[in-house]
Amino acid sequence: MLSKNIEAALNQQIRIEAESSQVYLAMAVWAEVKGLEGIASFMYDQSDEERVHMLKLVKFVNERGGHAHISELNAPNVTFNSFKEMFEKLLEHEIYVSNSINELVHTSLQEKDYATHNFLQWYVAEQIEEEAMARTILDKVNMIGDDKGGLYLFDRDIQQLTVESAADVPDA
């Protein structure tokens, strides 16, 4: 059974994951209207992943005797000055999510809620992967700079890049 405090903290995380899905959906749309299909496809996939993160939390809260709260969401940024800025925001956002997960882990230990602590380990591992991937992408984007040809190739290769980056991350 979840304490009220843990239930509220998990519900806050449900909101953050749902907002993350919207953040990446907005990035996907922006990339798509700019004609960069590879980046758009990557961002649509990211958006779907965040929805899965959200749903796992929803199921856990309900299974543990709580009531998952489906709340209103903050609207995401829908335009960006550049692709570099968009990927910087992606990394910033993932760091924010990691901090939030860390806080949750801390709270679960404080309350000796080992079931929740165990459940959260999946998110800890996932955040290591997502941050590493965002950093790899940003390194590439920084190398490309304003080079249009580079951006074209990057758009073509981004899916492959993310598969490689995920494979580089040691199992947590």
Give the residues lining the site for ligand FEO (CB under 6 A).
17, 20, 50, 53, 94, 97, 130
> In the complex with ligand FEO, which residue's Cβ is closer, 21 or 107?
21
How far apart (Å, rounded) are the C-alpha atoms in residues 6 and 4?
A: 6
How far apart (Å, rounded) are the C-alpha atoms in residues 20 and 95?
A: 12
> In the complex with ligand FEO, which residue's Cβ is closer, 31 or 151?
31
Beta carbon of residue 42, minimum distance to ligand FEO (angstroms, whole number): 13
Beta carbon of residue 28, minimum distance to ligand FEO (angstroms, whole number): 14
> In the complex with ligand FEO, which residue's Cβ is closer, 70 or 143?
70
| Spatial contact of 65 and 1, defined as CB atoms under 8 Å apart | yes
Beta carbon of residue 81, minimum distance to ligand FEO (angstroms, whole number): 22
> In the complex with ligand FEO, which residue's Cβ is closer, 53 or 117?
53
Q: What residue number has its CB nearest to ligand FEO?
A: 53
Residues contacting residue 56 through CB under 8 Å, at least 6 positions apart: 122
String of DSSP letters for 78-145 = ---S-HHHHHHHHHHHHHHHHHHHHHHHHHHHHTT-HHHHHHHHHHHHHHHHHHHHHHHHHHHHHHHT
Beta carbon of residue 94, minimum distance to ligand FEO (angstroms, whole number): 5
Beta carbon of residue 113, minimum distance to ligand FEO (angstroms, whole number): 21
SS3 15: helix
| Spatial contact of 105 and 117, defined as CB atoms under 8 Å apart | yes
> In the complex with ligand FEO, which residue's Cβ is closer, 15 or 34?
15
